[in-house]
Every structure is written in C-alpha cells, then in structure tokens.
Amino acid sequence: MKILKKELIITNKLGLHARAATKLAQLSMKFQAKIIIELEGKQADASSIMALMLLAGAKGKSVKVITQGEDAEQALKNITQLFTDKFDESE
C-alpha cells in the first residue's frame, strides 16, 4: 500500500486551533485514505478534531502529513492546499 509523506509549515496566525482542526478533520473524512498528522513526535488521526487540537500546533511549527490508501495522493494534495490557504482564515 502506498504511503505518502510531506512536511508542511503551519502559517495561519492561530495555528491548529478549534476551527482549523475542524476544517482539517472535515476534509480528511472525505477520503478513504488514512491520514495522520505528526508534530514533534506525536501523531494524531487527522479526522479527529480533539486529537488534532492536542498536538497544539502553533504558527511556524512544522508538521508531517502522512497519507495511506487508495486516494492518498488526492488527500495529500487537498490537505497541502488547506495549509497553503491558511485554513481560509483572514489574517
């Protein structure tokens, strides 16, 4: 099974707070791929808002996105876009 990994930097002002975590979880649930977010050695299932918030990802932190499964490439692409768009937050 294909496993893809990519390092992303959290660039939105508030980091992985409740709203950003919710957006990431909702996006992750659209895919069949298993999506893991890793920060400083801790891992969280990207479809779990609580798990994402417990990572306490602040602005400027680097996270590793790991996708595994059928639509892993599309999942990684969409998640990368969400990070690039700063979770659609106005700064």
CATH C-level class of 3-88: alpha beta
Which among 56, 62, 72 is positioned nearest to 5, based on CA atoms? 72
- Is pLDDT above 80 for 91? no
* Banded pLDDT at 67 (limits 50, 70, 90): very high
- Is pLDDT above 70 for 78? yes
SS3 63: strand
Catalytic residue among 17, 19, 64, 86: 17
pLDDT in tens, 22-49: 999 999 999 999 999 999 999 999 999 9
CA angle 51, 53, 59 (to 5 degrees): 135
What is the rounded distance in angstroms from the CA atom of residue 31 to the CA atom of residue 35? 9
| Whether 23 contacts 87, CB under 8 Å | yes
Known active-site residue 46: no
- Is pLDDT above 80 for 64? yes
